Amino acid sequence: MKKLDKTAQPNSFIILILFFAGLVIMSSLYVTIPLIPVLSKDFLVSESETVWISSMFTFCFVLFLDAYCLDYYQIVLAEKNHALGISCVNDCYYLSRVSKQFVLSYSFQRNTRLDCSYFLSCSDSLCDGIVPAK
Amino acid sequence: MAGIIGQVYSSFISSHLGWQYVFIILATIYFLLTLLMLFFIPNLPPNGTSVANAFNQMRKTLAQRSLWFAYVVALVMLLSFVGMYTALGEFLSSSLFGFTNQQILYVRSVGILGMLMSLFLGGLIRRYSVIPILRSAIILSAIGLILLGFGANMVFIIVMSVVFVSGIAIAIPSLVSLVGELGGASKGTAISIYSVVVNLGATIGPILVIQLLRTGNYILTFSILACFLLLGFLSTFFVKRVSPVVEKSIAPF
């Protein structure tokens, strides 16, 4: 494990990565909406069948991501919302680092998704609202 | 944000490069992000609780009645958001309007303006309390949605889609803070369940709308989505906030 070095890590950079990752992860839920007519034409299936692409994707997303997102992982914060890194519950500790961080950035975005203002102003409630401080 | 940006991105790429590239480019971005995450985000020691703990908390959290009603609101919000955008594409490309993909892209991207409404939410919550804001946002969205079905020209439709999105953009963050508040000590668990419910709404939305569109009646489709929103509106009346003491600690954003 990398040692945490508070001086070496630019914290706003971490927040930026998490925010951007969350944005593109969340986008994957919505990219199929405009594609429904395109795909149904290309694959010669009706639109009511094509729509299952988006719905099944979202459903599996619920099962695998939501079901274990927020409470298992946390962004650990220093004072004034500077993200320091990622922590998780004991059982998940040996999960791959990347998947852990993806889950986290997802939950980060999930709750700021419509709310970039809090992100931009980096107000206290941003991270407080996202991550239950334990 | 992602709701609109994802749609604009995919309609832009699919009309310029083909739909395959929507996924290819996204995959490339994910790969780059994986590298970024690997190198730049430190991994901290585990936080001492366990998965079993989290599940126990979930049971305790779900015992709260008010939270269930807040989840109903969450479900209908995303159901109508995803449903509305699914229907909008069909609506605009139908013989009524015959919009090109390019024009539909514009309509989708203007929705971002509505998202900017959430910028003002902090000030609103400071002035009024969460539930009245939530209620008025739901009503705003419902009005936008119903009028959308009656839309006769492009400007009107664009304005109404912005009205609708503004409502959603105000309602969702205030709902998150309400759910967090109702969750109290198990705020994290309450918000996790909220995410599950929200995504379930996004799952049901498109299926429902495609079924409704079979009738070929757009006014009916949009009105039924608005009825779902009103259902959410009604359930806000069953949400009891815990105590004014909590309100004080949550409200100043």
Cβ-in-10-Å burial (0-12, 13-18, 19+) of B249 comes to: exposed
Residues of A in contact with B196 (CB under 8 A): 62, 66-67
* Host H or E run for residue A72: none
CA distance linking residue B26 with residue A65, whole number of Å = 18
Which architecture, in CATH terms, is B45-250? Up-down Bundle (1.20)
- Strands annotated E in chain A: 73-77, 83-88
**Residue A78: which pLDDT band, with cuts at 50, 70 and 90?**
low
Displacement of CA A79 from its chain's centroid (Å): 22
The model carries a pTM of 0.77
Q: Report residue A105 as tokens.
A: 């950035």
Residue in B closest to A94 by C-alpha: B46
CA distance linking residue B188 with residue B183, whole number of Å = 8
CA distance linking residue B171 with residue A114, whole number of Å = 9
pLDDT of A14: 74
Return per-residue pLDDT of chain B as tens, 253 residues: 677 888 889 989 998 898 888 888 988 998 898 888 888 877 766 666 666 776 777 777 788 888 899 999 999 998 999 899 888 888 888 877 888 888 888 888 888 888 877 777 767 777 888 888 899 999 999 999 999 888 778 888 889 999 999 998 888 878 888 887 887 777 767 777 887 888 888 888 888 998 888 888 888 899 999 999 999 999 999 888 765 444 444 433 3
What is the count of residue pairs from A and B with beta carbons less than 8 Å apart? Answer: 250
What are the sequence ranges of the domains in chain A? 11-130
**Residue A109: which pLDDT band, with cuts at 50, 70 and 90?**
low
pLDDT of B96: 77
Decide if B251 contacts B129 (C-beta within 8 A). yes
Closest by Cβ to A35, choosing from B14, B45, B189: B14
pLDDT of A52: 86
Residues of B in contact with A111 (CB under 8 A): 176, 191, 195
ipTM of model over 0.90? no
Closest by Cβ to A24, choosing from B33, B168, B211: B33
pLDDT of A16: 76
**Residue A86: which pLDDT band, with cuts at 50, 70 and 90?**
low
Average pLDDT estimate for A9-28: 74
Residues of A in contact with B137 (CB under 8 A): none
pLDDT of A91: 62
pLDDT of A90: 62
Torsions phi, psi for A77 (to 5 deg): -115, 145
- Of B105, B199, B213, which to mutate for an interface test with A (greatest number of A Cβ within 10 Å)? B199
Residues of B in contact with A9 (CB under 8 A): 40, 42
CA distance linking residue B167 with residue B78, whole number of Å = 12
pLDDT of A57: 84
A38: Cβ contacts below 8 Å, ≥ 6 apart: B14, B19
CA distance linking residue B175 with residue A33, whole number of Å = 24
Closest by Cβ to B207, choosing from A55, A98, A105: A55
DSSP per residue, B52-74 = HHHHHHHHHHHT-HHHHHHHHHH
Average pLDDT estimate for A108-129: 35
Contact between chains at B46 and A110 (C-beta distance less than 8 A): no
Closest by Cβ to B192, choosing from A38, A70, A105: A70
Contact between chains at A17 and B36 (C-beta distance less than 8 A): yes
A106: Cβ contacts below 8 Å, ≥ 6 apart: A21, A22, A25, A26, A65, A69
Cα–Cα distances (Å) from A43 to A46, A127, B176, in that order, read: 9, 44, 39
CA distance linking residue A132 with residue B190, whole number of Å = 10
Contact between chains at A101 and B41 (C-beta distance less than 8 A): yes
Give the residue, A129 or B184, on which the prediction is more confident. Answer: B184
Least confident of A22-31, A105-114, B123-132: A105-114
pLDDT of A121: 26
Q: How big is chain A by its Cα radius of gyration, in Å?
A: 18
